[in-house]
Structure 1
Amino acid sequence: MSEIETHSYDVIVIGAGGSGLRAAIAAREAGKKTAIISKSLFGKAHTVMAEGGCAAAMGNVNPNDNWMVHFRDTMRGGKFLNNWRMAELHAKEAPDRVWELETYGALFDRTPEGKISQRNFGGHTYPRLAHVGDRTGLEMIRTLQQKIVSLQQDDFARTGDYEANIKVYAECTVTDLIKDGERIAGALAYWRESGRHLLLEAPAIVMATGGVGKSYKVTSNSWEYTGDGHALALRAGASLINMEFLQFHPTGMVWPPSVKGILVTESVRGDGGVLTNSEGKRFMFDYIPDVFKDQYATTEEEADRWYTDADNNKRPPELLPRDEVARAINSEVQAGRGSPHGGVFLDVSSRMPAETIIKRLPSMHHQFKELADVDITKEPMEVGPTCHYVMGGIEVDPDTGQASVPGLFAAGECSGGMHGSNRLGGNSLSDLLVFGKRAGDGAAAYVDSLSARPVLDEVEVKRAQERSVAPFGDGSQDGAENPYTLHQELQQTMNDLVGIIRKEEEVRQAITKLGELKERAKNLVVEGHRQFNPGWHLALDLRNMLLVSECVANAAVLRQESRGGHTRDDYTTMDAEWRHKLLVCTADGDDGVQIVEQEQIPMRSDLMELFELDELKKYFTDAELPGGATA
């Protein structure tokens, strides 16, 4: 292995978004030599696109808020399919993680009393989202990035070396995890600029690679979101859970076509924006599910009082969980009541003065003005659902973030369980902080527990190198395939057949098509050299996207109900029996998958007692209720 650039670390963090940076900080502060692998430029992770805020029950705006209310909201949003231990840890620890971020230098908006300001968001009982205008994710990345730099400065002060204990590999992509027997031993990567390989040896790896949205034609996700962490973990022997649950954010831009899918932050609705159809009707009142009838306003007058009357607990229906709002918009469009470009209208101009909009929603004002020539202080926006977030991911231990493969950890969007069948807005940023720290701490503790470090297998390293350069050819062979053509066909397949509304026949068509694409992908050919070659990069990403898309489609056809981000046109309601079941994906041979059912672990009785008995009866059997056989 002398011809390959090689480095040794205690912990490798793959991904430089919020969860990855927080994991790296935790590992470094535990005394571990840590590497951060960033697929894009450092500081450009997709976390910067999270705009509305970070959910944490600090009670700064409404003192009635606490971790128990946050826990209840999270479980309700996920339709009780959440890993309840993760939801509990998240609700309890999120405030500390936000306050900690402030000690790192984050500059949150303030209340008149000087506390961190918190705003309303869909599915949250009280104003709970700590925010920085509508660019909270950017502030989070800026702050965590600066914390990394400060740790490097500490190293320099002690050793004269900025990268003594924490190093960032920017514009670098991991293609394979290398194991020693069953244990993680390191990773093979390549520099995107030069195409040169590098080998990183480490006994612990934290996956923090984000989501899978680039498998879809219309998505709010950035180019990095190709399911890398999901696929790498699957091939290494880990399991994925809840992959059928994809969140289609209700409000993405729909016009012009060049920006279709770009996110329109939920804080527009949190700050009073309303959804109307082509007839001018505020239609969300028609789509309040029975389980939410006692929590949401049924008239405009009652809904508007939410923003001025602290004792009014009836939230506007625009603040229903995202899955409910996305389905409602989809229904209005299908009924012929959509906007001219296939969405609906989101209006904030009639709800607050222009100067307030510019102050509270500066990014949205700029985005629509520059990209769509729409002044949101004077006219409504056109919005529609866009593939936004995957609730499914790597199955991990809630307390440590460790996967089933020794030495492999995961946090953030590429881990599964925390959000159940649907994520509440704002829970993603606090999820990154809470479980990023826990995964970093867990990885450090795992390294401390080892009696001997794992050893890299030279044969496996060579095979991984050969796989990564396999797409290079002269293009003369029969059946040579172009990666851009395959990617377009994959996106169209997932968009049309495994989208927001699913039918068994269509999903099975998608599974067949995915099988065909996988066969064709064996003949992918790219031209040119390894120096910054976008075609080669996409060819490698396609291997991951095809594998993860197969997990999504196969799980979607098996779950015969509608729950959260999974809506079946042929099974339109939630089924109590399916609330007990998780669908678990594992690798089957060379880039194949198999899916089995797994029973959900019963919730602790003290947590069940936080809910009203009548609500629990909508989800649980009598035997599971507090005082029942499994309580």
Structure 2
Amino acid sequence: MTHLEADVLIIGAGGAGMYAAIEAARQGAERVLLLDRSLIGRGGATVMAQMTVAAAVGAGDHWEHHLADTLTAARGLADPSLAALLCEAGAECILEMDEWRVGWARAGEGFAAVQAPGHDRARCVYVDFLNTGPAVSRTLRAQVQRVGPAIRRLGEVAVTDLVVQDGTVTGAAALHVASGEALTIAAPATIIATGGLTRLYARNSASANMSGDGYALALRAGATLVDMEFVQFFPIGHLAPRLIGMDPIMWDPFRYKLGGRLLNGAMEDFLDRWGGDAEQGRYSTTRDLATYAITKENEAGRGSPHGGAWLSFTHIPEAELRAAFGPVVDKLAANGIDLTRDCIEVSPIAHYHMGGVRVDTRMRTDVPGLLAAGEAVGGANGANRLSGNAITEALAYGRTAGREAARMAAAGPVRGFAAGAALDLLRAQGPVANTAAMVARLQRVMSADVGPFRTAAGLDRAAAAVAELQAELGVAPPGAPGQPHDLARLDWLDLRQMLLVAAAVIRAARAREESRGAHQREDFPEMREEWRMNQLLRGEGLALSCQAVPA
């Protein structure tokens, strides 16, 4: 298995990738190849999501109301057409998932829904408060199987480069991790559905394969990235005490359902001190403001013992806690946490990326043959993603990309495929290197100087550190090719992508001299109207330009 051919190649098998595969097959593509770094449907962000999904499917709601809230959260930088597609097609996908028996919770004749921060009404649906993402992934996996032989699934494949011939993407080169062999795939339509870049940070909420691969693949192929500076930090990621076998972002739905209180080290409410609402029993402060408030309380010396904030449910009666948390109460007890008695510590954690590959409303990039879907896409969420929009975006954009890819594939197979330099890299042998230690160094650099709050001096330090790591990395992966499960070699290939993506984030963050949404410059603390524009990056040299926000 050294060369494969497909009508549609999908890189990444999370929510966006699986929906794309289903739709491409439904639209007539007979050979859909679904690749993933891990097992199909069990890696990425969708399967880890334990919260809610925003969709205007309730009585009295409409996707245009959802769109208005999405654009407000985006702080003036969203592409309205992409945001509208997210909201309108997303609602259709939620209804189709219901037909596929995902198990959305019910309230009477309709869906049960909660009102998450930034929404004007209750429109965030769920399966249950700890199982929404796994249920979505399980349902999509089952649907992929029902489609049958049109979809071929292949796990443990790390795509390292897209193959570009005469300006058109004609497939990819990859490492088959289980065997250590190089693999090439020819396809007239390729979809990047690799998710975000949270692995760049030491504390993050997604699976370990979210290294920003798709952004690097797109750049090297000649596609454009947009708004790479906007990394969303989830404000209340679990910090302490130690929590085993549970998602670090599990607290959010319980906080806004039950009114969990955020308190500083002196056990005082503090969100209104930093521009948030005086919450009075209900969670209403958006993620960027909550992140800002927690960080500033710590800088003022009022943080919790481990450098975060206290989250307290001690004012909630035990019966109400059990009704809301169910078996989670017992899982927490096994971790030594009694919510009727104990506060837990939370702090910001890298969670999502608003920027990404620039596409049109059919998910086409500016390179023929290449599309993108899900979190890999930039533009819809502007400077700050609205709570609940991530899975909606994955489903809506996956379906759209799959439909367009099938149309592109109908033109016929790739002719004269040649991978060239991409294969040479996979077959090269470089000196032994501690690549895991280098990954950890990059994560520390990004967390320290390219986190929620940035300065010119910190970004310059980060840029220098990334350049030093790039020089140290060299031009060839360590060890001999062809070794199964060679993690040092895989980490080298990951670092090659991660360093390019980190440099892209730093470049865009250094240029944007204002604070807006998830990008906060402490040396430019105000949002400035002249910066109401999108930043574009092109090529491995990261040529930067600006454009007006689409009307």
Q: Same fold (TM over 0.5)?
A: yes
SS for the counterpart of 2:199 is helix
- Structure 2 counterpart of 1:155: none
For the pair 1:454 / 2:414, whether they are aligned, the reply is yes
For the pair 1:420 / 2:382, whether they are aligned, the reply is yes
| Equivalent residues of 1:205, 1:443 under 8 A apart | yes
User: What CA deviation, in whole Å up to 9, does each residue of 1:438-491 have, x standing for no partner?
Assistant: 11111112223x3x5433443xx2421221243x4464xxxxx32112111111
For the pair 1:445 / 2:394, whether they are aligned, the reply is no
In the alignment, the residues of structure 2 paired with residue 247 and residue 299 of structure 1 have an alpha-carbon distance, to the nearest angstrom, of 22
User: What CA deviation, in whole Å up to 9, does each residue of 1:565-600 have, x standing for no partner?
Assistant: 100001101001111x11111114xxx322111221
Q: TM-score, normalized by length of structure 1? A: 0.83
In the alignment, the residues of structure 1 paired with residue 92 and residue 279 of structure 2 have an alpha-carbon distance, to the nearest angstrom, of 37
In the alignment, the residues of structure 2 paired with residue 103 and residue 26 of structure 1 have an alpha-carbon distance, to the nearest angstrom, of 15
Deviation (angstroms), 1:68: 2.4
For the pair 1:465 / 2:423, whether they are aligned, the reply is yes
User: What CA deviation, in whole Å up to 9, does each residue of 1:353-388 have, x standing for no partner?
Assistant: 445434544586466445x52133542221000011
| Equivalent residues of 1:120, 1:267 under 8 A apart | no
* Equivalence map 1:222-237=2 (5 Å): 222-237=207-222
In the alignment, the residues of structure 1 paired with residue 251 and residue 497 of structure 2 have an alpha-carbon distance, to the nearest angstrom, of 28
| Equivalent residues of 2:177, 2:485 under 8 A apart | yes
Where structure 2 has 5 or more consecutive residues not aligned to the other structure, the ranges are none
| Equivalent residues of 1:133, 1:360 under 8 A apart | no
SS for the counterpart of 2:174 is strand
Deviation (angstroms), 1:256: 4.9
User: What CA deviation, in whole Å up to 9, does each residue of 1:199-245 have, x standing for no partner?
Assistant: 21110011110011111111112111011111101100101001000
Quick one: percent identity of the two aligned structures? 33
After the TM superposition, which parts of structure 1 deviate over 3 Å for at least 4 consecutive aligned residues?
A: 256-261, 353-370, 472-475, 523-529
State which of 176, 180, 184 in structure 2 corresponds to 1:195: 180
SS for the counterpart of 1:416 is coil
More moved, 207-216 vs 176-185: 176-185
Task: Provide closer, same or farther for how the CA distance between residues 348 and 299 of structure 1 changes in structure 2, counting only shifts above 3 A.
Answer: closer
- Structure 1 counterpart of 2:12: 15
- Structure 2 counterpart of 1:619: none
| Equivalent residues of 1:266, 1:425 under 8 A apart | no
User: What CA deviation, in whole Å up to 9, does each residue of 1:78-130 have, x standing for no partner?
Assistant: 1021111111122223222111001112011111x142211121211211111
- Structure 2 counterpart of 1:176: 161
Deviation (angstroms), 1:197: 2.1
* Equivalence map 1:619-630=2 (5 Å): none
Task: Provide closer, same or farther for how the CA distance between residues 456 and 207 of structure 1 changes in structure 2, counting only shifts above 3 A.
Answer: farther
In the alignment, the residues of structure 2 paired with residue 270 and residue 5 of structure 1 have an alpha-carbon distance, to the nearest angstrom, of 50
- Structure 2 counterpart of 1:141: 137
| Equivalent residues of 1:268, 1:348 under 8 A apart | no
Q: Which amino acid aligns with 2:39?
A: L
| Equivalent residues of 2:55, 2:91 under 8 A apart | yes
In the alignment, the residues of structure 2 paired with residue 492 and residue 524 of structure 1 have an alpha-carbon distance, to the nearest angstrom, of 24
Q: TM-score, normalized by length of structure 2? A: 0.94
- Structure 2 counterpart of 1:322: 287
For the pair 1:553 / 2:506, whether they are aligned, the reply is yes
State which of 250, 273, 276 in structure 2 corresponds to 1:264: 250
State which of 380, 387, 392 in structure 1 corresponds to 2:350: 387
In the alignment, the residues of structure 2 paired with residue 369 and residue 211 of structure 1 have an alpha-carbon distance, to the nearest angstrom, of 33
Task: Provide closer, same or farther for how the CA distance between residues 546 and 420 of structure 1 changes in structure 2, counting only shifts above 3 A.
Answer: same
| Equivalent residues of 1:35, 1:166 under 8 A apart | yes
For the pair 1:217 / 2:202, whether they are aligned, the reply is yes
| Equivalent residues of 1:500, 1:566 under 8 A apart | yes
- Structure 2 counterpart of 1:376: 339
Task: Provide closer, same or farther for how the CA distance between residues 365 and 578 of structure 1 changes in structure 2, counting only shifts above 3 A.
Answer: farther
Task: Provide closer, same or farther for how the CA distance between residues 192 and 354 of structure 1 changes in structure 2, counting only shifts above 3 A.
Answer: farther
In the alignment, the residues of structure 1 paired with residue 420 and residue 547 of structure 2 have an alpha-carbon distance, to the nearest angstrom, of 36
SS for the counterpart of 2:111 is coil
In the alignment, the residues of structure 2 paired with residue 188 and residue 253 of structure 1 have an alpha-carbon distance, to the nearest angstrom, of 38
SS for the counterpart of 2:10 is strand
Deviation (angstroms), 1:190: 2.3
In the alignment, the residues of structure 2 paired with residue 426 and residue 514 of structure 1 have an alpha-carbon distance, to the nearest angstrom, of 33
Q: Which amino acid aligns with 1:20?
A: G
In the alignment, the residues of structure 2 paired with residue 169 and residue 389 of structure 1 have an alpha-carbon distance, to the nearest angstrom, of 26
In the alignment, the residues of structure 2 paired with residue 355 and residue 445 of structure 1 have an alpha-carbon distance, to the nearest angstrom, of 55
- Structure 2 counterpart of 1:70: 66
Of structures 1 and 2, the larger Rg is shown by: 1
Q: Which amino acid aligns with 2:10?
A: V
| Equivalent pairs, count | 545
Deviation (angstroms), 1:275: 0.9
| Equivalent residues of 1:254, 1:261 under 8 A apart | no
State which of 82, 94, 110 in structure 2 corresponds to 1:86: 82
For the pair 1:283 / 2:278, whether they are aligned, the reply is no
Task: Provide closer, same or farther for how the CA distance between residues 363 and 241 of structure 1 changes in structure 2, counting only shifts above 3 A.
Answer: farther
State which of 558, 583, 601 in structure 1 corresponds to 2:550: 601
- Structure 2 counterpart of 1:273: 260
* Equivalence map 1:577-616=2 (5 Å): 577-579=530-532, 581-588=533-540, 592-602=541-551
Task: Provide closer, same or farther for how the CA distance between residues 43 and 396 of structure 1 changes in structure 2, counting only shifts above 3 A.
Answer: same
- Structure 1 counterpart of 2:36: 38
Deviation (angstroms), 1:5: 2.1
- Structure 1 counterpart of 2:443: 491
Deviation (angstroms), 1:288: 3.0
Deviation (angstroms), 1:261: 9.0
- Structure 1 counterpart of 2:55: 56
User: What CA deviation, in whole Å up to 9, does each residue of 1:287-337 have, x standing for no partner?
Assistant: 336xxxxxx5x462xxx4xxxxxxxxxxx4x32221111111111121122
In the alignment, the residues of structure 2 paired with residue 456 and residue 369 of structure 1 have an alpha-carbon distance, to the nearest angstrom, of 61
| Equivalent residues of 1:184, 1:454 under 8 A apart | no
Task: Provide closer, same or farther for how the CA distance between residues 568 and 495 of structure 1 changes in structure 2, counting only shifts above 3 A.
Answer: same
Deviation (angstroms), 1:193: 1.0
SS for the counterpart of 1:537 is helix
Task: Provide closer, same or farther for how the CA distance between residues 524 and 350 of structure 1 changes in structure 2, counting only shifts above 3 A.
Answer: farther
Superposed CA RMSD in Å reads: 2.1
In the alignment, the residues of structure 2 paired with residue 251 and residue 375 of structure 1 have an alpha-carbon distance, to the nearest angstrom, of 18
| Equivalent residues of 2:241, 2:345 under 8 A apart | no
